[in-house]
Amino acid sequence: MTELTSAFAGLADLVGLGACDRIELRPTLLRVLTDLYLQRLAHTSEDERCYCELALRLIDATDRPARAALANRLASYPFAPRAVIARLARDEIEVAAPLLEHSSCLTGAELEAIAKEQGGAHADIIATRRSAMLQPLPVSRPRHPIASELSDIFYAAGAAEAPLDSRQSRICADSAIAALGFHPGG
CA distance linking residue 35 with residue 33, whole number of Å: 5
**Cβ of 122: how many Cβ atoms within 10 Å?**
22
- Is residue 164's pLDDT more than 60? no
pLDDT in tens, 16-72: 554 555 557 889 999 999 999 998 888 899 999 999 999 999 999 999 999 999 999
- Is residue 152's pLDDT more than 80? no
Mean pLDDT of the 61-86 span: 95
Q: Output the pLDDT for position 42.
A: 87
Average pLDDT, the chain: 78
CA distance linking residue 180 with residue 150, whole number of Å: 11
129-136: long-range pairs with CB below 8 Å, 24+: 129/100, 129/101
pLDDT in tens, 112-132: 999 999 999 999 999 999 888
3-class secondary structure per residue, the chain: CCCCCHHHHHHHHHHHHHCCCCHHHHHHHHHHHHHHHHCCCCCCHHHHHHHHHHHHHHHHCCCHHHHHHHHHHHHCCCCCCHHHHHHHHCCCHHHHHHHHHHCCCCCHHHHHHHHHHHCHHHHHHHHHHHHHHHCCCCCCCCCCHHHHHHHHHHHHHHHCCCCCCHHHHHHHHHHHHHHCCCCCCC
Mean pLDDT of the 140-148 span: 57
